[in-house]
Amino acid sequence: MNHLVAIVGSTGIGKSKLALRLAQAFNGEIVSADSRQIYRYMDIGTAKPSQEERALVLHHLIDIVSPDENFSLAQYQQLAYRAIEDIQQRNKLALLVGGSGLYVWSVLEGWGIPQVAPDPEFRHGLEEKAARVGGDELYQELTSVDPVAAQRIDPRNVRRTIRALEVYKEAEIPFSQLQRKEAPPFNTLIIGLTADRAELYRRIDLRVDEMIKQGLVDEVKRLVNRGYDFNLPAMSGIGYRQISMLLRGELTLAAAIQQIKFETHRLVRHQYTWFQLKDDRIKWFDIQSTVDSQIMAPLSKFIRGSN
């Protein structure tokens, strides 16, 4: 079986729950395409599947690096292809599930990711500059040399901005031009979940409140007690950054919660630039009016090879 089903959409839309149901119905395994769930010890703030859910269906590429380890897009792509091939060789259905556009499209489109080695000195200099003047200045610099790459990167993602500038410096041509594409040998069905913006924001706000109840503050405290610094890239994710500010006395709990909600709303808007409703490669389903059987019908047809 060389079928691959991708389930995409914004954070909080219900991709993981749907993937779990489909994996059980179609003898599948899940390959995570979430750039935060790769980190160990970061469970609540990344909305990882529970141990019970992971016992029901095998999940790949979750908890694979420590928060202080470097992890590149090229590494992710290589591991994802390896996991997908392993699943397919066992005649199971591979489900690629997540909202990280870079991760998803690098696999689905077969990006040839630039093999430019990290330059620690250059990187450190840009990190210091970002700390001094803010990440916006670096992002503007990237926009001037490689507007295509800049459009793909969230302006708040300083790490990705620095990497794109690093590649440009080394290769002397834009990062975006180095990303040749060679479609992988899969038959692919892309399922997109969506909802109107008000419903998305409502679901996100409820999920943030639930994360706080589940112990997000204590989770960040445990990370710090393990020796993971507030300034690590892994700790810059939404939720972890705001709770770190709370623990340093820079925000109240109420302000931290509000910021997490606001930043997650902004993330949703950015995700729709990666997964566009007009993209005819994606079969979109509105979660407010869709039942599982409506998704399972085209999926069954796809697996039978008659799509």
Q: What is the pLDDT along the chain (307 residues), one digit of tens a residue?
A: 789 999 999 999 999 999 999 999 999 999 999 999 999 999 999 999 999 999 999 999 999 999 999 888 889 999 999 999 999 999 999 999 999 998 999 999 998 877 666 777 888 888 888 878 878 888 898 898 888 888 878 887 888 888 888 877 776 666 666 567 888 889 999 999 999 999 999 999 999 999 999 999 999 999 999 999 998 989 999 999 999 999 999 999 999 999 999 999 999 999 999 999 999 999 999 999 988 889 999 999 999 874 4
Which element (helix H / strand E) includes 137? helix 135-145
| The pLDDT of residue 178 | 58
Q: Could you confirm whether domain 3-113+181-304 is CATH 3.40.50.300? A: yes
Residue range 120-178, CATH number: 1.10.20.140
Range list for CATH 1.10.20.140 in the chain: 120-178
The answer to whether 129 and 137 are in contact (CB under 8 A) is yes
| The pLDDT of residue 307 | 43
| The pLDDT of residue 145 | 85
**Running DSSP on this structure, what letter comes out for residue 90?**
T
| The pLDDT of residue 306 | 44
| The pLDDT of residue 171 | 63
**Running DSSP on this structure, what letter comes out for residue 235?**
G
| The pLDDT of residue 179 | 61
How many angstroms separate the CA atoms of 264 and 286, rounded? Answer: 20
User: Which residue bears the tokens 């302006």?
Assistant: 155
Q: Which amino acid is at 115?
A: Q
Q: At a CB cut-off of 8 Å and minimum separation 6, what does 200 contact?
A: 10, 12, 13, 268
| The pLDDT of residue 300 | 93
The answer to whether 14 and 193 are in contact (CB under 8 A) is yes
| The pLDDT of residue 167 | 78
Range list for CATH 3.40.50.300 in the chain: 3-113+181-304
Segment 22-25 long-range contacts (CB within 8 Å, at least 24 positions apart): 22/95, 22/295, 22/296, 22/299, 23/57, 23/93, 23/95, 24/56, 24/57, 25/296
| The pLDDT of residue 123 | 83
**Per-residue pLDDT tens digits for 228-250:** 999 898 999 999 999 999 999 99
How many angstroms separate the CA atoms of 103 and 89, rounded? Answer: 22
How many angstroms separate the CA atoms of 180 and 275, rounded? Answer: 20
